[in-house]
Structure 1
Amino acid sequence: MNIGLVLSGGMAKGAYQIGALKALQNYLPGNTIKYISCASVGVLNGYAYAADRLTLAEDIWRGICTNDNEKYTITRLLKLDKADSIAQALTKDSLVLENEFYTTLLDLKKKKLIYKNLQGTKTDILTDYLRASVAVPLYKRSIRAEGTDYHDGAAVDNIPVYPLLQHEPDYIICIYFDDISYKFESPDFDSKIIRITFPPKTRFKESVLFTKKSIDDMITEGYERSERILSRVFENGTRDIEKILSEAKKLSEAYESIPRLTGDVMVDNMNKLFKKLTKKSIEP
């Protein structure tokens, strides 16, 4: 079976992914997913899943805030290099990845988005790539990996299905944070996508503020919502393609539908990003 997994970025909302991946692990352990493509915080969660370190990742998430009164904004966490510490903790004494594992990186100097395959990458280099994957432009400096400076590429492509286009997977589990049923790439490719979405509640606050309660609640909801979906999708097992794609179609019809072509998204978002990064001045 050629199975794919896509994890979007989402800052603090990445806690939903921990719950979702715990549910997915009940059906498909990380080593059974052949192709994984992630952005931003999804890279850390996806790596934990692929490397069988999901329990460690959950402990790290729950440990971000140690009591009910403690709060962190995403800005403060980035300044404290928490994301760097998480990347280092997850990759400590780890084996090389056997899955094709793509992280979404931005080379600002070349104005280029790169989907880097980390399959077989040695631990010390792997750590650098994971750190770069969460080096958010405007918040953090770039991270150097194998001689190139990279930032988090989620600002350009936050739902990185593109690397899986070349592999023709039997089906893809795609976890993202929106109430839109995107139509990805071609009709044939899109028909293979099982959408597990978490519609926004208080979108901005939920994305940038960490509290103990919010993290615990998101992990719980991530598990429960995903388990409800996956129990239907895999009712006849993980190899009944006809049943799986039938359920995938039902999920795709649950929300408003709009086309999402990676090339168009990249051009639009790259232009928006560089407008923010460009310094403006009026000279006499």
Structure 2
Amino acid sequence: MKIGLVLSGGGIKGAYHLGVLQYLCHENKIEFDTIAGTSIGSIVGMLHEIGIEPKLVKDRFKNIKLNSLTVLWNSIGRAGLISSDTLKELILKGVLESEETDLMKFKDLNKDIYVTATDLISGKLKIFSKKTDPEFSVLHSTLASSSYPMVFSPVEANDTIYTDGGIMNNFPADIIRDKVDYSLGVFLSPLTISKKEQLKSSRGVASRVIQLQGASEDLKRLKLCNEIITSRDLVNFNSFEYDSEKIDALYEMGYNDAKSNTQLLKTLKQLQRYKRMEL
């Protein structure tokens, strides 16, 4: 009996992931055997695997001093505006407070972790895992998965160039569908209804088309999970706006949404009992 967890991309909305994990895993001792994550979902999955309490991650994350990244959308012409090394330093010093994790490889992990990235050279989805990349740095894989175009520069490794995994697969439920008996998904990007004024420019129309294309693929993958935790209220948050109050609000929203689903907790605890019986 294997229980899987799927964590979508979504930038700052990843604080919602932390709230869910705080309630399910830290307070109720639910253990996931397999985790698949994209972008911020891969970072949260990595931090969960190495054992840092989600609430502590949230509090440390709030202390990272970054100006709102929203303005970066207005700059075009460079491969990236913030280097992946800067993102690495923010995670190492701001969240992990240790450089030991920089040396951790996939072969060192206890759980099966799957991290998605987009290979810009081949145009294909790259899936980092213990099986395919045992010697690869887990942290570097999450940096590749989180290198959002025109915000963070791509990551060069394995003789290719990687960028954000959400371009190809923002909700990697399909990656672990045949590897687990039950999967829970946490989804940060519910589809919004667009306003007419947002569609009066070519950029607005293009952005909406990309959003709809992604939503179609997300919907297919959402159906692969046994249960989904999400909230329509997530549409009220900007993925690139680093604001302490909003981080707290997202965290509390995730925590409360997980807590309110009493049947989910009962199901997960029952599945864990089945796992113990198999040992």
When the two structures are aligned, how many residues end up with a matched partner?
228
Q: For the residues of structure 2 that align with 1:17 and 1:8, how far apart are their CA atoms? A: 9
- 1:237-252 to structure 2, matched below 5 A, reads 238-240=269-271
The structure 2 residue matched to 1:72, chosen from 68, 73, 96, is: 68
Residue 197 of structure 1 corresponds to 230
Q: Deviations over 1:194-242 (max 9, x none)?
A: 1001224544x5222111111111112211111212x32223662259x
Residue 277 of structure 1 corresponds to none
Given that 2:38 and 2:145 are in contact with CA atoms closer than 8 Å, whether structure 1 keeps it comes out as yes
Q: For the residues of structure 2 that align with 1:131 and 1:198, how far apart are their CA atoms? A: 26
Given that 1:11 and 1:74 are in contact with CA atoms closer than 8 Å, whether structure 2 keeps it comes out as no
Given that 2:83 and 2:153 are in contact with CA atoms closer than 8 Å, whether structure 1 keeps it comes out as no
Bigger relative contact order (CA 8 A; separation at least 6):
2
Q: For the residues of structure 1 that align with 2:222 and 2:18, how far apart are their CA atoms? A: 29
Residue 36 of structure 1 corresponds to 35
Q: Deviations over 1:223-278 (max 9, x none)?
A: 1111212x32223662259xxxxxxxxxxxxxxxxxxxxxxxxxxxxxxxxxxxxx
**1:218–1:80: structure 2 CA closer, same or farther, 3 Å change rule?**
farther
Given that 1:18 and 1:45 are in contact with CA atoms closer than 8 Å, whether structure 2 keeps it comes out as yes
1:21 aligns with 2:21: yes
Shift of 1:93: 2.1
Given that 1:5 and 1:36 are in contact with CA atoms closer than 8 Å, whether structure 2 keeps it comes out as yes
Residue 101 of structure 1 corresponds to 113
Residue 265 of structure 2 corresponds to 234
Given that 2:6 and 2:37 are in contact with CA atoms closer than 8 Å, whether structure 1 keeps it comes out as yes
Q: For the residues of structure 1 that align with 2:3 and 2:158, how far apart are their CA atoms? A: 29
Q: For the residues of structure 1 that align with 2:221 and 2:253, how far apart are their CA atoms? A: 29
SS at match of 1:136: coil
SS at match of 1:239: helix
Q: What letter corresponds to residue 35 of structure 1 in structure 2? A: T
**1:186–1:92: structure 2 CA closer, same or farther, 3 Å change rule?**
closer
Per the normalisation by structure 1, the TM-score is 0.69
Shift of 1:4: 0.2
Q: What letter corresponds to residue 199 of structure 1 in structure 2? A: R
**1:63–1:44: structure 2 CA closer, same or farther, 3 Å change rule?**
same
Q: For the residues of structure 1 that align with 2:159 and 2:50, how far apart are their CA atoms? A: 25
Q: What letter corresponds to residue 88 of structure 1 in structure 2? A: L
The structure 1 residue matched to 2:123, chosen from 84, 94, 111, is: 111
Give the alignment's Cα RMSD to 1 decimal. Answer: 3.1
Shift of 1:38: 0.4
Shift of 1:184: 4.0
Residue 152 of structure 1 corresponds to 164
Q: For the residues of structure 1 that align with 2:166 and 2:71, how far apart are their CA atoms? A: 16
Deviates more, 1:232-241 or 1:55-64: 232-241
**1:75–1:48: structure 2 CA closer, same or farther, 3 Å change rule?**
farther
- 1:132-211 to structure 2, matched below 5 A, reads 132-167=144-179, 169-179=180-190, 184=220, 190=224, 193-203=226-236, 205-211=237-243
Q: What letter corresponds to residue 172 of structure 1 in structure 2? A: S
Residue 245 of structure 1 corresponds to none
Question: Percent identity between the aligned chains?
Answer: 22
SS at match of 2:266: coil
Structure 1: tracts of 5 or more residues without a match: 242-284
- 1:37-52 to structure 2, matched below 5 A, reads 37-52=36-51
SS at match of 2:239: helix
More strand by share: 1
1:221 aligns with 2:233: no
Q: For the residues of structure 2 that align with 1:209 and 1:129, how far apart are their CA atoms? A: 23
Q: For the residues of structure 2 that align with 1:18 and 1:186, how far apart are their CA atoms? A: 20
SS at match of 2:270: coil
Q: For the residues of structure 2 that align with 1:78 and 1:3, how far apart are their CA atoms? A: 38
Given that 2:81 and 2:153 are in contact with CA atoms closer than 8 Å, whether structure 1 keeps it comes out as no
Residue 87 of structure 2 corresponds to 83
Q: What letter corresponds to residue 188 of structure 2 in structure 1? A: F
SS at match of 1:98: coil
Q: Deviations over 1:15-67 (max 9, x none)?
A: 111111111213345xx3221100001111111111112345223222135xx
